């Protein structure tokens, strides 16, 4: 199995549909959990910024994300199918899908320069 990161953007429900929308998310995540596909995820708080360039300029994010999820799946196409089924898709939202690389069991060594002999 491979790991995929889903980043959820847009698709804000109206105040009238917010409770129903949150129930849809809970049901959807529970289904993925029951299938052994859900690993982790969290909604993002409203405060979001980006740091950019050599001067580390801080600015607003135009199309901020609502949250993320890490899932364990057999293929990228399966990740796309999961993204298509996300509850916010029918509210005008979209999902970015990223395939995650397997990290070395000792991450600190993955970024070290090889020693020259």
Q: How many domains does the chain have?
A: 1
- Quick one: pLDDT at residue 108? 59
User: Tens digit of pLDDT for each residue in 22-72?
Assistant: 899 999 999 999 999 999 999 998 899 999 999 999 998 888 899 999 999
32 sits in which H/E element? helix 18-34
SS3 state at 84: helix
Domain containing 20 equals 2-101
**Do 21 and 12 meet the contact criterion of CB atoms below 8 Å apart?**
no
Q: Name the 3-class secondary structure at 60.
A: strand
| CA–CA gap between residue 114 and residue 52 (Å, rounded) | 29
Asked if the structure places residue 107 within a domain, the reply is no
Residue 72 domain-assigned (yes or no): yes
- pLDDT category at 114 given cuts 50, 70, 90 is low
> Where does the pLDDT of residue 14 fall: very low under 50, low under 70, confident under 90, or very high at 90 and above?
confident
Residue 58 within any structural domain of the chain: yes
């Amino acid at each position: 199995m491979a790991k995929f990161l889903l980043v959820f953007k847009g698709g804000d429900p109206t105040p009238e549909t917010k409770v129903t929308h949150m129930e849809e998310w809970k049901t959807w995540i529970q289904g993925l959990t029951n299938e052994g596909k859900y690993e982790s995820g969290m909604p993002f708080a409203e405060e979001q910024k980006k740091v950019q360039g050599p001067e580390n300029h801080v600015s607003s994010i135009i199309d901020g994300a609502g949250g993320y999820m890490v899932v364990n799946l057999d293929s990228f196409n399966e990740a796309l199918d999961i993204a298509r089924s996300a509850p916010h898709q029918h509210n005008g939202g979209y999902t970015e899908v990223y395939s995650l690389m397997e990290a070395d069991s000792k991450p600190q060594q993955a970024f070290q320069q090889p020693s020259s002999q």
